[in-house]
A and B are shown apart, each in its own frame.
Chain A
Amino acid sequence: MRIPCPYCGERDAHEFAYLGDATVTRPDPAAADAAQAFHDYVYLRDNPAGAHQEWWYHANGCRQWLRVARDTRTHAIAAATSARVSGEPA
């Protein structure tokens, strides 16, 4: 599998570390149901057969985080974009 890194170009998957589901959002720790929300956020994952959004870290390249749209059945990658947009607050 090759991932089209926006900075480095197409690179072998071995250069990357897989960091999991990019669709979950960190819950508000101050909310009343924070404990349950964090349990779901940390442990519960869908396992879609098909289109998926994932975090990949280009450890042996530009050392940037990427958001990759991958089809879990075919490994076809529809898009890979930088997780951080330059100029936005960190």
Chain B
Amino acid sequence: MADHSSHDPLAGIPFDLVPPSGAYGAAGEASVTVSTVETPFIALVVARNGFAASVAGRLGRAFGLEIADRAGAAMGAASTVVGTGPGRFLVLSKTEPDLAGTLRALLGAEAAITEQDDAFVTFDLAGDKVPDLLAKGALIDLDPRVFLPGHAATTVIAHVGVTLWRVHESGWRLLVARSYEASFTRFLVASGAEFGLRLENGTAGRG
């Protein structure tokens, strides 16, 4: 009988630790690159009843982005605003250390702000095979002809809650609750191995 364990890209890696950086699966040029990026400042904005349009407008003017109250990602050089529900916006910034405070000053009584800096781990997925990888765990249609750059979705992938958006033609960004990092990274490695996957992360070994 064939020894299947030799084909397991995760063989020998403790299931509760983040797999180490490196190449997994098919040899040759990796078709999928997975990296965990530090998006240091994240806050959730929930518009109070009746203020969704006003909040979207204020956020758009403040960050120089086109923001509507829908499931989409508005991306700028320093900040991204993702719609996760009616009147709910996840704001990500590279440059605002006190993002929640800035948003409170901006939105006043129109919204409730919650700091989420440490809530998520951010996965950057690059490569043309990313939709094929994600299709193994997703319940939604991520076909590149359907899920276009700027589209966003809050859903489950591999039974794990995910907010994802397509950054550009061959780049996708996923926010996953931080405590799922090891488990979700294993899903990515196992599902991307057939295409050849390169994992680059600075948090290997974390449980």
Contact = CB atoms under 8 A, between A and B. Distances in A.
Contact of B154 (A14, A61, A82, A90): A61
Contacts of B87: 86
A12 B85 contact: no
Given A60-B161, A86-B50, A7 B86 contact: yes
Given A11-B139, A86-B52, A64 B86 contact: yes
Contacts of A7: 70-71, 85-86
Nearest to A6: B86
Nearest to B139: A12
A82 B85 CA distance: 11
Interface string A36-73: 00000000000000000000000011111000000000
B139 A15 contact: yes
B156 A62 contact: no
A15 to B, nearest CB: 6
B205 to A, nearest CB: 29
A31 interface: no
Interface majority SS on A: helix, strand, loop or mixed?
A: loop
User: Looking at chain B, what size class is its interface with the partner chain?
Assistant: 10 to 19
B179 interface: no
A14 B139 contact: yes
Interface in A72-90: 82, 86-90
A90 B48 CA distance: 10
B153 A8 contact: yes
Contact of A15 (B49, B85, B156): B156
Interface string B147-162: 0000001111000010
A89 B52 CA distance: 14
Contacts of B154: 8, 60-62
5 contacts: A7-B86, A9-B71, A14-B139, A60-B156, A64-B85
Interface of A: 7-9, 11-12, 14-15, 60-64, 82, 86-90
Give the 9 A-B CB pairs with smallest separation, nearest first: A62-B85, A12-B139, A87-B50, A60-B156, A7-B86, A61-B154, A63-B85, A60-B161, A8-B71
